[in-house]
Amino acid sequence: MKLSILGPAFGLPSIDPECNAAVALLRAQDETVSWEVAISHDEDNTLPRLEDGGHTYYGLKSISNHLKERSPSLSAQQETDQTAYSLPVQSKQSVG
């Protein structure tokens, strides 16, 4: 699997919250799952983007759904982690 994300910042894998959540989802998978991260600045496609088995999944929700279908026998801890990482990512903006 290849996960394309925006580049790193502040000691995190990416400057984008959804991309960081996608990395966390893949880290929570079974250790036998092989994956790599590719830094991308592709403005024509949604990031994060996961390529797996000839299929491409765009956005955190699509990636999360694919990983749940791909690994139906997760441990209780892996399932809990995956649910937490796939919750909507929200940001707060100050009113000015």
Question: Architecture of domain 2-85 in CATH?
Answer: 3-Layer(aba) Sandwich (3.40)
Mean pLDDT along residues 79-91: 62
Cβ proximity of 57 and 63 under 8 Å? yes
Consecutive H or E run containing 12 = none
Q: What is the spatial distance between Cα 42 and Cα 39, in angstroms, rounded to a whole number? A: 9
Read off the pLDDT of residues 15-64 as tens digits, 9 standing for 90 and up: 888 999 999 889 888 777 899 999 998 777 789 999 999 999 999 889 98
pLDDT bin (cut points 50, 70, 90) of residue 91 is very low
Domain ranges of the chain: 2-85
